[in-house]
Amino acid sequence: MNDTLVTIVGNVATNVEYRDTATGGVARFRFAATARRWDRERSVWTDGRTSFYTVSAWRQLGANLAASVAVGEPLVVYGRLRVREEPEGRDGRRRTFVDIDAVAVGHDLTRGTAAFRRGGKPARTREHAQEPEESLDLVPS
């Protein structure tokens, strides 16, 4: 497998859109990463160009992402890089798109805190968690 794997730190640029598919669902959103550089002459940090990516997350990762992420939040995205070109549009120029098929996504904890909640199977209801009434009798008769 010769996939190009990347790790990108940036911010969520659009709402996460989730839709169910035959293979278990997919979440998609736009992700913005802005390079910052130290300007020695002025002794300040300056922003460089912003790069935008379309991130796709499949199955459980997609469902968890849709339930956990909002616009503007800082993330670290790790996944397979895909570059595609589309033919000339109305303006006569070819357009290049950069997509990431996410393998893992998390909040950037250098910029804030997060509270993790384990996902997976739905929580058991109280009535399913209890034993039958006859086994609840702790005092011998």
- Identify the pLDDT of residue 41: 92
How does pLDDT run across 113-138, given as a tens digit for each residue?
988 888 765 444 444 444 444 444 44
Instruction: Give the whole-angstrom CA distance, residue 137 versus residue 141.
Output: 9
CA-wise closest residue to 84 among 99, 71, 72, 74: 99
pTM for the model stands at 0.75
**Alpha-carbon distance values, 8 to 99, 106, 118 (Å):** 12, 11, 24
In this structure, whether the domain defined by 5-116 belongs to CATH 2.40.50.140 is answered with yes
> What are the sequence ranges of the domains in the chain?
5-116
- Identify the pLDDT of residue 135: 41
How does pLDDT run across 49-96, given as a tens digit for each residue?
999 999 999 999 999 999 999 999 999 999 999 999 888 777 788 888
